[in-house]
Chain A
Amino acid sequence: MTRDDTADSTSSTIGHLLRDLAPQVLGALTRRHGDFADAEDAVQDALIAAAAQWPNDGIPDNPRGWLYQVATRRLTDHLRSEIARRRREDVVAAESSGDDATTTVDAELDAEQDDTLILLFMCCHPALTPASAISLTLRAVGGLTTAEIANAFLVPEATMAQRISRAKGSIKTSEVAFRLPNEEERAERLSAVLHILYLIFSEGYASSVGPDLQRTDLANEAIRLTRTVHHLLPNVGEVTGLLALMLLTDARRSARTGPNGELIPLDEQDRSLWDQQLIADGGALVSRALSTGSIGPYQLQAAVAALHDEAARVEDTDWPQIFALYGLLERMSDNPMVTLNRAIAAAMVHGPAVGLEYLQPLDADARMSGHYRLDAVRGHLYEMAGDPERAVAHYRAAAERTTSIPERNYLTTKAARLAAEQRKVSAPTASVDMPNA
């Protein structure tokens, strides 16, 4: 190991440690001082200070206590300057006890339960737009710096800082209390949390911006956060299902792109590149989730992913089972993407003509008509049906409509390949019809 390797591994150890500690310190500080927004800023400052100092000074004996102390000091400084600014003295008394002896810090940190869940419920509050919730979750619960999040979403750091600060403003205005949501609303709020985690994963898996298909840092972060939730709520089927879905999808990561960053679809992937450990872990989670009783959309999607992952060859895929699972999913959620996937499964089981029939209702669905995926799937099914002319037209239309560069390149190549084959087949007759140039 060279010096640089050692330095790299130290800084990555520190990075992991900071991300794990961030929600604990933030939870404790918010409990103590009451203001989530200010506490969150203070913890962010402490994380940045740690990332700058620890690589040189070494990790302190009590890293969590260190972060809590520094964050408390920042918060106190901030409140003092705020107070000075507003010339309001009545708040001083409430905050003057900021710097306590180190001994009480640990007691305070250990006294409460894990606050990660409360923080997640807060950051994924329905009052926030998904984009705000995602950014805030990554910072407050994920322990990422604003710069890292900005980088992951390809926006300037100032923009991301503003997005996060506005998100915190909305939480303040909505007067979201720092506690677990009560029984009646808990299920709904948990599904909002899972949705945000799912969006973070999807963003990492199929980037909606930029030239690259996947940004693994976000996918990893989503998996880490979902693991945490699963650890805290091991018996909630949908949490287990979501974690399984992520692992089973992530298992195919290195097979999804070619040397030029091009997209490789499931049926053309080199399955020896799939991560068998992730497939085994994900598969075990699905079985466990499905045995809990209440079945939800994430569990069903994970079950589909498991069926794909467990097929050693494309032709071994259990399409009838996948078709049945999409049928269940369609009954459970009104999502046109499910109908689209069900049509593909139908085509694999009953032939392309049936698949095309299943697509028809989507033309009347405003969310889907004119969407590139509908054209892409039609292209695929017409290709299966041996109608290259229609297939090429749909692939081209899809390529025109997609806003993802890798998708566009993939669809354009698909159309080009089919068109070239067609030219080869029809070349002899075509030359007869050619006018004499």
Chain B
Amino acid sequence: MRYILMMHAPRATGDYQINSWSPEDFQAHIAFMRQFNRDLVESGEFVGAQGLAAPGEAKLVRAGKGGVPITDGPFAESKEFLAGYWIIEVDSPERAYEIAAKASVAPGPGGVPLYMPIEVRQVMSAPMPADT
């Protein structure tokens, strides 16, 4: 079964205030994330992952008259934003939670775990051949 793990970063505090981290703490965080991805590839559970650019230019788009795009935003006041996501292929929801918990403790300043909230949602699939 497939899951998406979404990493939300609180916005008001500015991306976990990453700008105030020491360079060593920041490097440790990057090294942790790379190792996390490598482990997922090695366990055969990695499907994909993307980091999203900063939300400074993010827009909400709706179609106007004649399908012309009407943009709204960026929304500086939103409380949190999607920083990135992973898609994993696992045998059970428990395994997905386990992986999410690992991402959650990525290190922050002084190597202290961040305990980031990771939203875990199952990805829908085509019906199984037996069902159709």
Q: Could you list which residues of chain A lie within 8 angstroms of chain B, going by C-beta atoms?
A: 211, 260-262, 396, 399-403, 405, 409, 412-413, 415-417, 419-420
User: For window 12-43 of chain B, which residues contact chain A by CB distance below 8 Å?
Assistant: 18-23, 26-27, 30-31, 34, 37
Partner of A400, one of B27, B34, B54: B54
Given A211-B51, A416-B19, A416-B23, 13 new contacts (CB under 8 A): A261-B34, A262-B30, A399-B54, A400-B54, A401-B54, A403-B53, A412-B18, A413-B23, A413-B27, A415-B19, A416-B26, A419-B19, A420-B23
Give Cα A261 to B54, complex, Å. 20
Provide the residues of chain A in CB contact with B34, threshold 8 Å: 260-261
Interface size bracket, B side: 10 to 19
Q: How far is the CB of B124 from chain A (nearest CB, A)?
A: 18
A357 to chain B, nearest CB (A): 28
Q: What is the chain A residue whose CB lies nearest that of B35?
A: A260
Check B123 for interface membership: any CB of A closer than 8 A. Answer: no
Contacts of B23 in A (CB 8 A): 413, 416-417, 420
Of chain B, the residue at the smallest CB distance from A415 is: B19
User: Which of B's residues lie within 8 Å of A, judged by CB?
Assistant: 18-23, 26-27, 30-31, 34, 37, 49, 51, 53-54, 56
Q: Give the number of A-B contacts (CB < 8 Å).
A: 38
Task: Tell me the interface secondary structure of chain B in the complex.
Answer: helix
| A260 proximity list for chain B (CB < 8 A) | 27, 30-31, 34
Q: Judging by beta carbons under 8 Å apart, are A401 and B56 in contact?
A: yes
Q: Which residues from B are CB-within-8-Å of A403?
A: 53
Taken together as a complex, chains A and B put the C-alpha atoms of A403 and B52 apart, in Å, by 8
A412 to B54, CA, bound (A): 12
Complex: chain A residue closest to B31, CB-CB: A260
**A416 pairs with B22, CB closer than 8 A:** yes
| Residues of B contacting A419 in the complex (Cβ-Cβ under 8 angstroms) | 19-20
A–B pairs, 21, beta carbons within 8 Å:
A211-B49, A260-B27, A260-B31, A260-B34, A261-B34, A262-B30, A399-B54, A400-B54, A400-B56, A401-B54, A405-B51, A409-B30, A412-B26, A413-B26, A413-B27, A415-B19, A416-B19, A416-B26, A419-B19, A420-B22, A420-B23
